[in-house]
């Protein structure tokens, strides 16, 4: 993932005039100069020992991509939800978050959200409001169950839930008709809804490191139509 991000930054920096990359600068805080440049479209603040963020993101109305990964954040400011033009990427991987603000519902154009390697014990249901999401990552958290209704995430193509505490997933995941990848590795699954076989575009179902899941007859049906089932 790190190499993927670096390639992404190189590509984006050649295309964007207002790209600010402060990755791994040991800042400890967000420089005041950031809030004075409303033209910023891409902002990278990853790996800076940030423990808190000022509630000033409403000043960055042109922001399309924000990377706050690999910090020490325990909560997020409400003004993140004011970033109505945040479309490409919100990276919050490897922090200490256990919730997101209700204002997250304002990120209605966001396509990629990474909340992996945090402290979530409950699925942040506000995320279900992000109807433009194409990829959602919640790997390496402490989720024991998922919300009953995933239907709002109709554009989702990838759902990554590796290394949580899930014993099953809700039937409503079968409503994600554009889903291509479902990663459930390392969960203590004891069963899966048979409705998953109806996902018309599923290309990969990853169940490696799942020791309690009994053999499921419909796996063969998925494989027969070209879906890779790793188990």
Domains of the chain: 1-142 (3.80.10.10), 150-231 (3.80.10.10)
CB 132 within 8 A of CB 111: yes
Its pTM stands at 0.91
CA dihedral 151, 154, 156, 159 (to 10 degrees): 10
pLDDT (mean) for 127-149: 97
Q: Quickly list H helices, 16-127.
A: 32-35
Phi-psi region of 207 (alpha: psi -120 to 50; beta: other; left: phi over 0): alpha
Mean pLDDT in the chain?
93
pLDDT digits (tens, 9 = 90+) for 203-228: 999 999 998 898 889 999 999 999 99
Mean pLDDT across 46-68: 97
Q: Are 205 and 222 in contact (CB under 8 A)?
A: yes
Model confidence pLDDT, tens digit, residues 91-133: 999 999 999 999 999 999 999 999 999 999 999 999 999 999 9
pLDDT 10s digits, 175-195: 999 999 999 999 999 999 999
Q: Is the pLDDT of residue 3 over 70?
A: no
């Amino acid at each position: 993932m790190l190499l993927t991000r670096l390639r992404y930054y190189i590509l984006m920096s050649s295309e964007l005039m207002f790209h600010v990359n402060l990755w791994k600068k040991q800042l400890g805080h967000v420089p005041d100069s950031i809030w004075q440049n409303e033209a910023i479209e891409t902002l990278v603040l990853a790996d800076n020992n940030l423990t808190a963020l000022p509630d000033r993101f409403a000043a960055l109305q042109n922001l399309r991509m924000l990377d706050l990964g690999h910090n020490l954040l325990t909560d997020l400011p409400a003004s993140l939800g004011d970033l109505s033009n945040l479309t490409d990427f919100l990276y919050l991987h490897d922090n200490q978050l256990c919730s997101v603000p209700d204002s997250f519902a304002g990120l209605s154009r966001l396509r990629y959200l990474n909340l992996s390697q945090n402290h979530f014990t409950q699925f942040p249901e506000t995320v279900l409001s992000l109807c433009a999401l194409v990829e959602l990552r919640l790997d390496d958290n402490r989720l024991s169950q998922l919300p009953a209704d995933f239907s709002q995430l109709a554009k989702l193509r990838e759902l990554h839930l590796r290394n949580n505490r899930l014993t099953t997933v809700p039937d409503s995941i079968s409503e994600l008709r554009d889903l291509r990848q479902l990663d459930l590795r390392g969960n203590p699954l004891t069963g899966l809804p048979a409705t998953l076989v109806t996902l018309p575009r599923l290309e990969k179902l990853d169940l490696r490191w799942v020791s309690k899941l009994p053999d499921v007859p419909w796996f063969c049906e998925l494989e027969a139509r070209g879906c890779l089932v790793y188990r």
